[in-house]
Amino acid sequence: MENPENASARLTGVRYVGDGRVFSAVFTFQYNGARFEVVAASPEDEAGGEALVPPLYKFDESLEGKALTEISDLSWGEFDETRDKATERLEKEFAKLAADACLQAMQQLVPIPIPDTQILEQYLYPQTYILQILTDFERTKLTCQTLDAYAGLSDRHPPISEDELRAMGLDLETTDIPLIRASQVILVRRLQGLVWKVMVDREELVCKAAIDRFEHPLVNELETYLKVRSAGVALRIPELKGIVVSDKGVIGILLGYIPHEYHSLRALLAGIDAGSILPGEATVSLRRIEETLRGLHRLGILWRDIKTDNILIDDDDDAVVLDFGGGNTVGWVDQDKYGSMDGEEQGLLKIKEALGVEV
C-alpha cells in the first residue's frame, strides 16, 4: 500500500456554485480512503461565501479569485470548443494547486489509510472533511483551513423525496417489497457507474444507487418497476427484489441478477463483427424486445433510453430490456422526439437496423 506521507490526493469531481456566473468551486478529492471537499469561496456566494471570506480580504486579487473569474469568463455564453479546452486546462491547474495546498491537512486528518469498503453505505457516504483554500498574499500561495460546514455542498447521493414516493404510491410502512438497509448490501463488482453486482443475505442481486444529478434517474427506475409489479404482467425486464434505505431515506433499488454471457446486445453484435462470435452461435429474438416494449407502453411507460447497450442477452440468448432512468443517448432518439411514442418507434427502428432486420 502507498505510504501515506507520499500519497497524493485524487481528484474525483468538481462543482461550481453560482447563478449563470461562477462564484465558488468545490473540488472533491479522495485521500487515504476519506473524502475531502475543498471549497474556493467567493464573497458573492450566497451559500455561505460571505461568511467564509475574511473581512477586507482582497478576493479579486487572490489566486482562487483570479482562477474563478477566468473560469467564469470562459464558461459564459454559447459552447465553444477552444474555450471548453481552455476551461478544462485551467480547472486541472486550479485543482492541482488546491490539492498541493491541502495535502498536509489531509495527512494530519487521515494519517492512516482507511481500508477499502465492500459495504454500500460506507461507499456512498464515506468519512468526509471540508476544507477551504485562501491566498497567503505575502508568500503568493494558497493555504488551507478546515471548515465545520459549507451550505453550498449538495447531497452526492440524494434520497428519493417523500413527495416523489407519495406520487408513485409507495408507502414504506405498508409495502410488501423488502426494505434492505444499505449497511446490509455487500458490493461484489461494479457493473457501471453506481450499478453493482451485490450480495444480500447470500443472494446475488444488482443494486442501482442514487446519483448526484439535477434529474433523479432512480425515481424513474423505481416508478417503472412499481408499475410493472402492480400490474402483475410478465415482461422481459429485471425483477424488483428490494428497496435500499438508509437514515437519509430511499437511496437505491435491488434487482434480480440475470446470469449472462453478453452484458449487452451491442457487445454481442460487436463480437460478431469482429469475428470472435460466429453469427450462428447466438441469436436474439427481436420479437421479445418488441413485445416487452409494447407491454411497457400499455402500462403508460416509455423506455426512453432505447439502445443496444440497454439490452442484456441472458444465458439462453434471450433479450432483457434494461435501464429506465430516463437518459437519452445521442444518435438513437432525436431530441425533439424524446419522451414520445415517435421517439420510441425511432429507437426500435434503430435496434432493428442494428440486428440487420429489413424495415
Grid coordinates in use for 232? 402483475
* Residue 28, helix vs strand vs coil: strand
pLDDT at 81 over 90: no
Please state the pTM of the whole predicted model. Answer: 0.78
5 or 207, greater pLDDT: 207
116, with CB counted inside 10 A (0-12, 13-18, 19+), is: exposed
Closest of 22, 36, 156, 159 to residue 77, by C-alpha: 22
> What is d(CA 31, CA 109) in angstroms, rounded to the nearest whole number?
10
Average pLDDT for 221-250 = 95
* Alpha-carbon separation of residue 157 from 18, 120, 154, 193, 209 (angstroms): 21, 12, 9, 13, 8
pLDDT digits (tens, 9 = 90+) for 200-220: 999 999 999 987 654 578 999
How open is the CA angle 54-45-84, to the nearest 5 degrees?
A: 120
Query: What is the CATH code for 162-256?
Result: 3.30.200.20
Reported confidence tier of residue 303, pLDDT bands at 50, 70, 90: very high
> What is d(CA 306, CA 322) in angstroms, rounded to the nearest whole number?
9
User: What residue ranges do the domains of the chain occupy?
Assistant: 10-147, 162-256, 260-354
pLDDT value, residue 47: 66
pLDDT digits (tens, 9 = 90+) for 56-78: 899 999 999 999 999 888 877 67
pLDDT value, residue 211: 78
How open is the CA angle 304-161-216, to the nearest 5 degrees?
A: 25
Reported confidence tier of residue 6, pLDDT bands at 50, 70, 90: very low
pLDDT at 254 over 50: yes
| β strands within 59-136, DSSP E | 128-136
pLDDT at 278 over 70: no
CATH topology for the 260-354 domain: Transferase(Phosphotransferase); domain 1 (1.10.510)
